[in-house]
């Protein structure tokens, strides 16, 4: 390895004196130990392992039914509103308010990490043979940890509980991550449904729940 090519010069000895990695290299004067110390100093994280193996609390969300009428949840919904308003004109946003989310035909879920609300989603049961997914949102700081997928799975469980055989939703063309999530979960494109009108900013989708479609 190239480690053997590094001479134990005065510079290397000074670097070695500034670092200590006995847990990785029992022989502190070995070529590999010297290279690790130089690399650590160059990267600016001396005394830290190259890989952070410490697990994050965000990997363990708690998803439960909650009232949307809480200060923290109102703030979460406001963050969702602001995000959507940056992407689409007002006529293309179809977001339910807190009062609507409190209706008896709505199940509202909140994803929490260490007690902090970081995501939400709702299932609105229609009088017809389908339910609509609304208010699916995860804070940017909590994305990339499959929270959206976990919320979606819980919504499907709620649909089965209430014997709703079809899930439908409206999302936007400027949200490729959301589109990829829904399609990977078995949703397919359909035309406008319910009160929706055709909109170039909208994508309409549905998924038939196999266990209830027989």
Question: What's the pLDDT at 128?
Answer: 86
Alpha-carbon gap, residue 113 to 157, rounded angstroms: 21
Q: What are phi and psi of 57, to 5 degrees?
A: -65, -25
CATH class assigned to 57-213: alpha beta
Q: What percent of the chain has pLDDT over 70?
A: 71
pLDDT of residue 30: 53
| pLDDT single digits (tens) 125-141 | 998 899 999 999 999 99
pLDDT at 59: 58
For the chain, the domains span 8-53, 57-213
pLDDT exceeds 70 at position 143: yes
The pLDDT value recorded for residue 61 is 85
pLDDT at 202 over 60: yes
Give residue 214's pLDDT band: very low, low, confident or very high (50, 70, 90): low
* Separation of alpha carbons 51 and 49, rounded Å: 5
Neighbours of 150 (CB within 10 A): 17
pLDDT at 171: 98
- In Å, what is the CA distance from 168 to each residue of 53, 120, 185? 39, 17, 12
pLDDT greater at residue 191 or residue 53: 191
Q: Would you state the pLDDT for residue 158? A: 97
Q: Determine if residue 194 is left, alpha or beta; phi over 0 gives left, psi from -120 to 50 gives alpha, anything else beta.
A: left
Q: Is the pLDDT of residue 149 over 90?
A: yes
**pTM above 0.85?**
no
Q: What number is the average pLDDT over the span 108-131?
A: 95
- Percentage of residues in the chain having pLDDT higher than 90: 67
pLDDT tens for residues 60-102? Answer: 789 999 999 999 999 999 999 999 999 999 999 999 999 999 9
Which pLDDT value is given to residue 6?
39
Task: Identify the band that residue 211 occupies on the pLDDT scale cut at 50, 70 and 90.
Answer: confident
Among residues 155, 171, 162, which one has the least CA distance to residue 119? 155
The 3-class secondary structure across the chain, one letter per residue, is: CHHHHCCCCHHHHHHHHHCCCCCCCCCCCCHHHHHHHHHHHHHCCCCCCCCCCCCCHHHCCEEEECCCCCHHHHHHHHHHHHHHHHHCCHHHCCCCCHHHHCCCCEEEEEEEECCEEEEEEEEEECCCCCEEEEEEEECHHHCCCCHHHHHHHHHHHHHHHCCCCEEEEEEECCCHHHHHHHHHCCCEEECCCCCCCCCCCEEEEEEECHHHHC
């Amino acid at each position: 390895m190239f480690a053997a090519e590094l001479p134990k010069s005065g510079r290397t000895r000074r670097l070695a004196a500034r670092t200590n990695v006995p847990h990785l290299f029992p022989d502190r004067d070995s070529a590999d130990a010297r290279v690790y110390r130089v690399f650590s100093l160059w990267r600016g994280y001396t005394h830290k392992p190259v890989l952070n193996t410490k697990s994050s609390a965000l990997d363990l969300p708690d998803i439960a039914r909650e009232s949307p009428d809480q200060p923290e949840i109102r703030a979460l919904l406001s963050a969702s509103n602001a995000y959507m308003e940056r992407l689409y004109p007002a006529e293309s946003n179809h977001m339910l308010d807190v009062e609507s989310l409190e209706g008896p035909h709505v199940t509202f879920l909140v994803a929490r990490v260490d007690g902090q609300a970081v995501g939400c989603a709702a299932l609105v049961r229609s009088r017809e043979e389908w339910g609509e997914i609304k208010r699916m949102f995860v804070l940017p700081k909590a994305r990339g940890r499959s929270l959206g997928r976990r919320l979606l799975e819980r919504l499907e469980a709620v649909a089965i509980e209430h014997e709703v055989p079809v899930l439908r939703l409206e999302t936007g063309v400027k949200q490729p991550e959301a589109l990829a999530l829904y399609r990977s979960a078995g949703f397919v494109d359909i035309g406008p449904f319910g009160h929706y009108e055709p909109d170039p900013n909208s994508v309409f989708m549905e998924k038939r729940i196999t266990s209830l479609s027989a």
